[in-house]
Structure 1
Amino acid sequence: MSTRVKNRTAKSIGLTWSLAITLAAVLVPFYWLVIAATHSSKEIFTSPPPLLPGGHLLDNLGSLQEKADFGRVVLNSLGIATVYTLTAGVICTLAGYGFAKFDFKGKEALFGLLMLGLVIPSQVTLVPLFRLMAELTWLDTYQAVILPNLALPFGIFLMRQSMSTLPNELLDSGRVDGCGELRLFLRVALPPMRPALAALAIFLFLFQWNEFIWPLTVLRSESALTIPVALASLQGVDDTDYGAILAGTAIAALPMAALFLALQKHFVSGLLAGAVKE
């Protein structure tokens, strides 16, 4: 066997082991989460920790429902995340299309100002937004959770980069044929953007599904809580039911896993859209 073949084989083996270790580092915490959700709090903290399923899953789910009305909480999170994803998706797509395909005075300055939102911590705007919601009497309402982050800078940036790859000649030919701007957007611009839209949908849903600080700030009643806030409320000072918390965390991971599996064919290509210009 030649030296070149040996080097190639060694690189292949090294890459395989690296990928295996990375995969294990990603999957092992999820495996332990599912296993821990089937054990009591006392069993979770035994040494060594349990590695096989236990018999307390139904007890943990019952405790979770009793303490947090978790069925209602899941519906709250699903409703908020779904409405947010659809509404923010429309806004980000329209804004990205406008920045990519229209020329207007101050476009670059406005886009640069928008991108500043990527580097400003959300905690900076927490107090002004809270005062605004209080003035509008929207505290403890779902619109207070959904509306402030609809024009998400990263979503607009992603769609702007994706829309930039759409040939201008294609749009011009549609205008020559008498196609209006709205119809041009819906019939010509959107169909090639399906991978980018799938990536945007996953990102927006994940962003809202995992949001904690803002819902914690504006939601007051237990019947309106989202999953992260409800799970955090189960952590007490003297007594914490970790079995119930981990069972709720495992349930919270299911919708994101299902969404990603449904859209995984488009996700990577959507994120890479606009990365290279011909």
Structure 2
Amino acid sequence: MDWFLNVTPDFKDEFDFEVDSNDLRERIQLHLEQKPIREIAQIDKRTGIEIYENFNQFLWCCSYAMFVVFDEGIQKPSLNGVYKGELDMSNPFVRRAMELFGRAISLFETYDKAPFYNLPNPEKYHEFEQFYIERTSGVYCAAMTFILLHEFGHQYFGHLDYYPSDTESKQDELTADEFAFDKMATHFETERSTTYKFGIIVGLSSLIFVDKTLQGGDRHPDPDQRLVSLIEKMNLNELDNLWGVASLAFKLWGLHFNKSILKPSITEHYKQMFYDTLNDINGIKGSS
């Protein structure tokens, strides 16, 4: 809540204005949903912003898996000259992160909280995993900030005051993405710059796991294009690790849905890895 309400010095005033002048209910409601994920987040003037614990759980796990698998499975082996395009499953960090990802994505089909307490989690953990878990929680806070800002953006731009056409609905989603991005971009020159950018990437990447088509349907933009639009807006250096993190999100999607992009490719730099992965994605996108 602190990250959200204080994302910029004037944001709390903007939030209060919508509450006082435009009838937004001053509440963020957390649904304790001990069942498969069906909703991500939403906003309604009468209920305020609504978020769901089961998706939030998935989002933290997704943050951890993308962080750890990239760092331990791709980045460090690349720096040591031993990366061959395969993840080293003998590495305990990689192995447990992949197991956590598998459990997390199962939340779209079933709900069983017990296994998560034996895997990396933000509530109780060993010193061995403290480094990654504590930094993951920062990335998760940034990702949740992006999602909350996106929902608030719909209120800010008056999207709740009319029922849009399908084309208007897709544009409204992109406008809300831009609103959230611009607020968080005020931190891009601070010491938390990477965390905020990482959070935006994870927040958008989480949407690609909803189904195996990578299509947004009639009323939402395709999730891969939403990610491409904002990562390009970050103006990252071609060597920036975040290109590789975003690429890994698609690799994990392919792994889960048995698509033919399972191996992280060996490339000159991570930006090339990202666009090579997109080329693979475009060849299979929409297939069942």
* Structure with the higher fraction of residues in helix conformation: 1
On whether the aligned pair clears a TM of 0.5, the verdict is no
Give me the TM-score of the superposition, normalised by structure 1: 0.25
* Structure with the higher fraction of residues in strand conformation: 2
